[in-house]
Chains A and B, each alone.
Chain A
């Protein structure tokens, strides 16, 4: 531990970390990046694809044109929103596996509001209301898992997984039941919303700036909360030592619920962005696995608000870029899945490595 000169740095995740800690931070990041690339290269070689060409196509497929960049940003927005929410739950030591379900609930609440808005004279009002409604939907769904955890002592991983299934069930029921398109119930989802109930598109880039603004606000707000708010401090304290936190006069359970509410809220908003800004309807795969991917993003970012957007961007680039990889290189399309699986392993290895390094020395 190195003391930062005469005035000790702000006691915050970032500033109070000594130089060596930050160096280690970047080392961990660099190492996992190298691991990801190494693994991917190995898999590509094994599959008989020329790696350099593959990377070229990955890059071209993600950032090669305005259109593609738009697609990357479109995927980055919900991923970042979900990841930001997860920062709160991870901070207090909760494994919020239920992000998928929370996102779905947000999408459902948003759809409900937007359906009311069809043929209304003030569609903008309904569009605006869809966002808080979605946050509420996602938040309530997350609180469900939180209450099961704090009151029923059900581990949040099981509660979250269970609620994911239930949310998926409700989603399918609505799409094939009450909200089905007149005459046809199909996997393609509900009736498409009229243009005035959609988030506007930036011509050329094909993505909605409103979503981008929301994601950036979420990031900044969270950074501020963790650095300056008592709430952020208590989350960190309760995550590290709930009993001591109680003795300091704060109820950890209450903060667990609040953290879940926020995480669910952000996931819900992500769901709303998907409904109103991307698909313009409710579809069965509305959550697109962003919930699970967000867990990875956050862990790979080492729970750091400032690293999350970068890692999320990296992931979306690889994701979007790998869509046309099988076609271009004539390899099996399941390869993208294999590559992502490898990332998971690398991520976990990097985390384990990092944990071992930063574990504080035992004190006497």
Chain B
């Protein structure tokens, strides 16, 4: 059944159950998605949001339950069938072909005949871009795009495949606030055209701004539904069972210089890093602000020893680090937590216990019992929803992040965190920062990047603003506000 563009599709989920062995990820969820509305799915980490969407998108089979499309029961097995029905899902990690160009990626799966009709496709591509106000360079290889741009590409690809129902799983994590604006405008326009939009998020702010109605999930069940206007307190209670208490920032004086960068330049990301001179002191919490790919990632990787500067000098605790590798940095107490959890941080195919075994022993024999015990202890301490024997890729996004945090050593000298609370719900974010603040008592300096201005202003002592590969602002948090910071990020320092 091919769907014609412009058709209005209502989707009904009735009593959906999804079980992974003894773990019940969804237990009897019923939700109705109506055309022309933006429907939010809100819930804490591990609530079962992604699972439900993967069931709807045909990515995983459901244990039981009914899916009704326009009033008739529908069964499907594969994502391809679902796509033919007119349902498209935007996964959080992009599923594209990195070396192919934007246009080539767009063409994949589009052509009906054997010959690629490049001209016609390009026209369609351009008109869709224009319509949604996306600016995508057609000839650039996709690997050079930011997460936000990859997302835009995926959206227009799904639309041109005839998607009438669009599912977006946490689309606002990892994209800049400007891209978020563009995305929201586009989604509103699509809803107006009668598309059914489903937005998964744990960010109240996004839901409140964009959605017409919202269903809240908790522990695999629907705990409430609400239509606009939303009441934040009620939503928080539905999400967590209670309203989380805000963070109390602790102000401590900075100590001795720890990391010195002198006129350091390096390649990488989009803009690389140019002529960066920065001093990080003990006990400081320094935020790296800026649009995605403005040099924060390069900065962190340089400070971690993962990247070699093309010019300039880096000193750690006064010692020049030229020619030393990542392990030498680690021996000086530098710990780096990358943002792409499954690409750089965690090792797919290995269980939680195996990760702890890798972290822990240095003997020849692995002490599996110790590793398992440690895994169990950390799972409890960090409230990770999982078991020691689970492979890390089967944890929910937020729980993968918690697991990464649980690997942090006891007394590092410098913590480099790339978007440490990406994918975490409010309660977890607060909890993580409370945990991180304890490190300051051990003289640890924390340097983190974030795309959330609120988070930066809430937790940092000092902010470095990156623009186009350079640090254009170095300012105390107390001396700035959202407005000022927003201008700086846009390059108007």
Contact = CB atoms under 8 A, between A and B. Distances in A.
Interface of A: 1-4, 8-11, 16, 18, 228-234, 236-237, 240-241, 243-251, 360-364
Given A2-B21, A233-B358, A360-B391, A10 B50 contact: no
Contact of B357 (A1, A4, A230): A230
Interface stretch (B129-137, B151-159, B360-368, B476-484): B360-368
Contacts of A360: 348-349, 391, 393-394
Interface in B168-193: 169-170
Nearest to A246: B326
22 contacts: A1-B394, A8-B387, A8-B389, A8-B390, A9-B389, A11-B368, A228-B366, A229-B364, A230-B357, A232-B366, A233-B354, A236-B349, A237-B350, A240-B350, A244-B345, A247-B338, A247-B345, A248-B347, A360-B393, A364-B50, A364-B397, A364-B423
B327 A249 contact: yes
B346 interface: yes
Contacts of A1: 20-21, 390-391, 394
Contacts of B387: 3, 8
A229 B366 contact: yes
Interface stretch (B91-99, B267-275, B291-299): B91-99
A3 B364 CA distance: 28
A241 B22 CA distance: 29
A231 to B, nearest CB: 7
Given A230-B366, A231-B364, A240-B350, A11 B327 contact: no
Contacts of B443: none
B347 A244 contact: yes
Given A11-B371, A236-B350, A363 B397 contact: yes
A246 B327 contact: yes
Contact of A8 (B330, B349, B388, B395): B388
B21 A362 contact: no
A360 B391 CA distance: 10
A47 to B, nearest CB: 36
Contacts of B210: none
A241 B354 contact: no
Contacts of B339: none
* A interface, over-half SS: loop
Interface of B: 20-23, 50, 54, 59-60, 91-93, 95, 169-170, 304, 306, 325-327, 330, 336, 338, 342-351, 353-355, 357-359, 361-366, 368, 371-372, 387-391, 393-397, 400, 407, 423
A243 B20 CA distance: 30
A363 B396 contact: yes
Nearest to B354: A11
A16 B389 contact: yes
Given A1-B391, A11-B372, 19 more contacts: A8-B353, A11-B350, A11-B388, A229-B365, A230-B365, A232-B366, A233-B354, A244-B345, A246-B326, A247-B326, A247-B345, A248-B347, A249-B359, A251-B325, A360-B348, A360-B391, A361-B394, A362-B93, A364-B396
Contacts of B363: 230
B136 to A, nearest CB: 23
A363 B357 contact: no
Contacts of A18: 21
A108 to B, nearest CB: 32
Contact of A251 (B306, B327, B359, B366): B327
Contacts of A246: 306, 326-327
A236 B397 CA distance: 23
A363 B393 contact: yes
The listed residue with most B CB atoms (<10 A of its CB), out of A10, A18, A228, A363, is A363
A241 B349 CA distance: 10
B362 A230 contact: yes
Contacts of A249: 327, 330, 359
Contacts of B336: 247
Given A1-B20, A246-B306, A361-B60, A8 B372 contact: yes
A175 to B, nearest CB: 41
A243 B346 CA distance: 9
Contact of B170 (A2, A16, A364): A364
Given A1-B391, A1-B394, A243 B343 contact: yes
A10 B344 CA distance: 25
The listed residue with most B CB atoms (<10 A of its CB), out of A228, A236, A241, is A241
A16 B345 contact: no
A247 B418 CA distance: 14
